[in-house]
Amino acid sequence: MKKRRLHQSFLNAFAGIMFAFRSERNMGLHVLAAAAAITFSFYFNVDKAEFLAVLSAIFFVFMAEMFNTAIEAAVDLKTRKFHPLARVAKNVAAGAVLFATVYALVVALVVFSGPVRARFF
């Protein structure tokens, strides 16, 4: 196996990240939600632990979406024909993204519900 330079590995990883952001429609929605969550974190002056929970949820969603993209690409590489196992692989990967997104929403509710109630109600 050919030994790659470290900077080439980082360039490859960055290319993969950019591919996921450009090719997946939902990544745009995730970016908007992440920007809103970070903005609300600063607006409501959440503490460090809560901010880390928000950031962790954001990265968890991004990672799940990127794994989903990788699984879909690998399945499509293997076959373009309908196969029940291909459908299972894609559906399970999409389900993982859904779980990550629900988790992020729960984190947002826990972190922001108190400050929103205190400020506006």
Q: What residues contact residue 67 under an 8 Å CB cut-off, 6+ apart?
A: 93, 96
| Token couple for 114 | 């108190």
State the Cα–Cα distance between residues 4 and 10, nearest whole angstrom.
Answer: 10
pLDDT in tens, 80-116: 788 899 999 999 999 999 999 999 999 999 999 988 8
pTM: 0.87
Residue 24 annotated as catalytic: no
Q: Are 31 and 77 in contact (CB under 8 A)?
A: no
Among 24, 50, 65, 72, the one annotated catalytic:
65
Helix (H) or strand (E) holding 13: helix 6-23
Q: Tell me which CATH code domain 6-120 carries.
A: 1.10.287.3610
In percent, the amount of the chain with pLDDT more than 70 equals 97
